[in-house]
Amino acid sequence: MTPPLWSQRAARLTIVVLALLLLIEGRLWVMQAVQGPAYLRLSEQNRLRDYVVPAPRGVLYDRKGRPLVTSRAAFTISVLPMEVREPARLAERLAPLVGLEPQEITARIAAGRQRPFEPVPLRRDADKAAVITIEEQRLDLPGVVVQAEPVRHYPLGTHAAHLVGYLGEITEEELRTRPGYRPGDLIGKTGIERTYDAVLRGHAGRLRVEVDAAGRPVRVLGREAARPGQSLVLAIDADLQAVAEQALGTQAGAVVAMDPRTGDVLALASHPAYAPALFAGGISAANWRRLIADRALPLLNRATEGTYEPGSVFKVVTGLAALAEGLATRDTVFHCTGALRLGRWVFRDLAAYGTVNFIRGTAVSCNVMFWTLGQAVGEARLYRYATMLGLGQPTGIDLPAEAAGLVPNAAWKQRVWKEPWYPGDTLNMSIGQGWVLVTPLQVARMMAAVATDGVLVRPRLVRRIVAPDGRVLAEPAPRIDGRLALPAAAVRTLREGLRAVVDGGTGAAAAVPGLAIAGKTGSAENPRGLPHAWFAGYAPADRPALVVVVFVEHGRRGGAAAAPIARAVFAAAAPTLLAATGEVSRP
C-alpha cells in the first residue's frame, strides 16, 4: 500500500464518520427540539393520572327536613382505554368481578377510546370482594382503576320511588343535547332526579395522582375538590306518604294528597313500585329486563302518567256546568227511576233512587240525574267546563313526564273516528264514560279548584332550593294558572252535594269523626276488566286545606275500595296538616 492510497482511504473514512455524527446529531436535535414535548407528554401520561371526582348530589328532604334521598361513598371499577392492550383478555378476567358480559366490556372500552385518558366506568357501587380481588391481581389487570365515588342512598326504601325517580348513565343522545356532561356521568332519568338534575348534580372536581409501573397510586400531586349539588326541600310529608302507600297496600293504583291553596303535593303514591336503589350503582341487565317485562308496570307512575276513565268523579264537571249555566239549582227535582230512554236506546242506572233534588242525587250518584243534566248542558259546554277545570291537559307539575289525558268533543270524534257526535256520546261523557281519560293528579287539581272557589293551582313538589351550607337559594311562590269565573251559588250548591256524598252517601267510608269531608266516588267501566274505583275529596269541607284523590285499578266500587284509603289519609292528616302549615323545621 502506497502512502497516497492510504491517505485517500483515511479521508473517505473521516467523511463517513463525520456524516454519521451529523446524522446522529440531527436525529438527537429532532427528538429533543421537535419531538421532545410529545415524548415528555407520553412520559407524564405513564406516570400521572388525572381523574374526574364526581360531586355528591344534593339531598332530597321532605317538608319537615327529613332526608328522603342522600348519598353514600362507594367504589367504582373503571378502565383506562389507553392502557388496555388486550381488551378481550381483560374483559374475560373482569366480567365476573363487575357483573357484565365480556362483550359489553370490550364494547365500552372501544367506545371509550375516543377519550383514552378518561376512565370508563364498568361497575359502580362495587362490592368489597371485587375491589380486593382487583387490587390483588393488579399486575394482570393493566388499565383497571378503582375510585371512590358517591352513589344514591334511599333511607326510606321504596317509599316515594316514582316521585324521586332514579339515576342512570348518560346516553349518547343526552350527551348531544345536554352540554357540560361527560361520557359515564350519572344523570337523572325520571322523577325529581331528572327535573332538577342540573341543580342536584353539583360540579365535579379533579385529582392528579402519580402512579407506579403497575398503575398503583403513589402520591397525590394535585386536587380540586368537587362541589356538592344543591339540596331540595320537597312539599312531600314523609309520614303522609307512608300512610298513603300503606293504605293502598298491594292494590295497583295511586294516591294524591295536595294542599289546594298552594299546590303543595303532600303525598304522591303509585303502586306497584320499584326499588330505586337498584339503579344507584347502575342497574344490571337482568334487573332491567325483569322490570320492563313486569306486566304490573312497576315503572309507571300511575298518579301522573296513567290515564283512566274517571267514571262518576267526572260528575263534578257535569254538575258544576249545569249549576253555573242556570240549568239546575239546589232544589231542582229529578226522578231517578233507574233508567233513561234516548230514542230506541235505554241507559240503565245501578238502582232507582226515587225523586231527588240535586243534593240527594249527588249523594247517591244518580246516573239518571247526571244524564239529564248532561243532555241539558251539551257536549260543547261539557268540554268547556272540563278543560276549564284542567282536565285533558298536563297540570304542569315539576316532573319530567306527565300524561295529558283526553276530553273528547265533536271535533275530536270527527277527526279520530270519522263519525259525528251522537246524543248518546253526551250521556256517556256526562258520567265520565266514553272516551274521557284523566290522571289522578288532574282530578286532584280539579277538586282543588272546586275547594277554592275556582282557583286553578299548579301542583308542585319542590318548595325550596338549599345550598350545601344551608343557605336558602330559592323559594318559589305557589303558581296559580287561572281563576275561574264561577257563580258563587253554583259552587256553594256543588260543595253541599259533595259534602252529602260523605255524610251518608256513596262516600261514607271516607268519613273521619270530627272532620268535615266533601267528596265524590266513582266506579268507571273500562274495556280492560273490572271497573276502576275512585274517590276524590277535600277537607275540612268549610275551609279546605287538603285534597285527597284515590284511584284503585279494577277496584270495582269507589265507595268500597277507594274511600277507605282516603279515610286513612284524611285521618292521618287531621291532627297536624289541616290545623297548621305543617312545616316544622328547615334542614
Q: Which three cell numbers stand for residue 528?
A: 280492560
The residue written with cell numbers 257526535 in the block is 421
Neighbours of 9 (CB within 10 A): 10
State yes or no: is 523 an active-site residue. Answer: no
Measured between alpha carbons, how far is residue 372 from residues 63, 219, 428, 429 in Å?
Answer: 45, 83, 11, 12
C-alpha 7/C-alpha 303 separation (Å) is 103
As a 3-state breakdown, the chain gives helix, strand, coil percent values, each rounded to 5, of 40, 25, 35
Q: For the chain, what is the radius of gyration of the CA atoms?
A: 34
Place of cell 291537559: 393
Q: How many CA atoms lie within 13 A of 99 on its CB side?
A: 18
List, in order, residues 6 or more apart from 27 with CB less than 8 Å away.
Answer: none
The answer to whether 540 touches 511, Cβ cutoff 8 Å, is no
Distance CA 124, CA 508 (A): 51
Alpha-carbon separation of residue 572 from 71, 243, 257, 518 (angstroms): 30, 7, 11, 17
Q: Distance between CA atoms of 431 and 405, rounded to whole angstroms?
A: 16
Are 454 and 485 within 8 A, CB to CB?
Answer: yes
**Cis bond upstream, residue 272 (ω within 30):** yes
How far is 76 from 143, CA to CA, in rounded Å?
14
Report helix, strand or coil for 276.
Answer: helix
What 3-state class would DSSP assign to 234?
A: strand
Q: Within a 13 Å sphere around the CA of 33, how many CA atoms are in the beta-carbon half? A: 6
Q: Compute the distance between CA of residue 417 and CA of residue 327 in angstroms, rounded to an integer.
A: 31
- Fill in the DSSP letter of residue 83: G
Most distant CA pair in the chain, distance: 146
Q: Taking Cα atoms as reference points, which of 481, 78, 487, 528 lies closest to residue 319?
A: 487
Residue of 312, 365, 430, 523 marked catalytic = 312
Which cell is 403 given? 300524561
CA distance 242 to 429: 35
Using DSSP's 3-state secondary structure scheme, residue 534 falls into strand
Residue with cell 247526571: 370
Cell of 153: 342512598
Q: Which residues are identified as catalytic?
A: 312
